[in-house]
Amino acid sequence: MDHGARLPLYVLVRVVLVPAAAGALAVVAARLAAGRARVVTRLLIIGAALGACAAHLGLAGVPSLPPVDTIEWVPLGTAAATLFLLPGVGRRADLAALLAVLAGTACLVGKPVWSQASAPAAMMWIAAIAVGGALAVDGLRWSTERLATAAALFPLVATLVGASLACAAGHSVLVAMMLGGIAANVGALAVGGLVLGARDCGRGLLGVWVVAGAALVLYARLYDGLPTSVTMLLGASLVAPVAVAALPRFRGRSILAPILAAALALGGAAVARSVAAEKEGDAMVGQDAPTSHRVVAGDEAALGQLEPHPLHHVAERRPRLGNRSGAAAPGEPRAQPIRLGRR
């Protein structure tokens, strides 16, 4: 069998089957431990963490210590969220731990960019990411009390799938596959919970997924040029169940939440695809533009009348995936990450 035939199977196993299997096994174990609420919650959190980490480790390998690429902080942040969000502490302590993990992961993943910004601006962005992630987690947890548990988990699956498609459109294939693996893990836990009745959905379970997913989206935004409009649509998709849960009770409300989340997530993927196609079109036109300015030999007077063509200014290609720790590899020029505020 050639490499071309093995590649789809490799992707299927490491991106979909392994994370989904981790979630399914966690649901089965939680069902066997029914009646012991704390044990059930811990088993589901561990299953979510194993699935999220497997999506990364199966594609990028075990991260080095200290990490060479900032994306290697993502599984470490997921592991930290798992340790700090396991039950056994109070609600306020859980919230403080979630904020600390979100802020620390965002700081380490975006360190090369934050180091080039002013200290107040960097702190503001890191705090906004941490507070926004914590509010999303608590909002989803609140929505499960007013809607069915699946009505909060399936929108999370839709958000992760939309983020994966958006990153794939922008040529961030590695990040896209990692997000797809997390989506497979969430989907397995959601479906398994419906079938077997293991439907616990607390701050710890949601926090692990949000930490892993938000870190990958932040990485794609800072280093791979994921548009700001796409990240906003993905954020709206994530909190769609909260908006639906706040509405007065009516039939079909639990079905509306996943539909609304899927529409917003797919809209973000469509915007990312449109932006990527526009950039590729501009680059192709820019490569052909110099042919319209040929000067016949001996006509030096015409040379002084030529003006720069407006399509000559083509954006630089983003840095390739590799060393994003801020230090350049031997013999390699240092890659400059995008500045804050630019798409």
pLDDT at residue number 123: 92
Quote the CA–CA distance of 335 and 316 in Å, as a whole number.
11
**Residues with pLDDT less than 70, the chain:** 1-7, 87-91, 195-200, 282-283, 286-343
Distances 252 to 30, 54, 120, 329 between C-alpha atoms, Å: 29, 35, 45, 55
Mind spelling out the 3-state secondary structure of 4-36?
A: HHHHHHHHHHHHHHHHHHHHHHHHHHHHHCCCC
Quote the CA–CA distance of 35 and 214 in Å, as a whole number.
33
Neighbouring C-beta atoms of residue 310, cutoff 10 Å: 8
Quote the CA–CA distance of 230 and 133 in Å, as a whole number.
16
DSSP secondary structure, 256-302, as one string: HHHHHHHHHHHHHHHHHHHHHHHHHHHHHHHHHGGGGG---TT-HHH
Do 233 and 270 touch, CB atoms closer than 8 A? no
pLDDT at residue number 14: 76
Quote the CA–CA distance of 34 and 28 in Å, as a whole number.
10
Quote the CA–CA distance of 306 and 10 in Å, as a whole number.
54
List the one residue out of 123, 54, 122 whose CA is nearest residue 82. Answer: 54
The number of residues making up the chain comes to 343
pLDDT at residue number 213: 92
**316: which DSSP letter?**
P
Question: Which residues does 149 contact at the CB level (< 8 Å), separation at least 6?
Answer: 190, 193, 199, 201
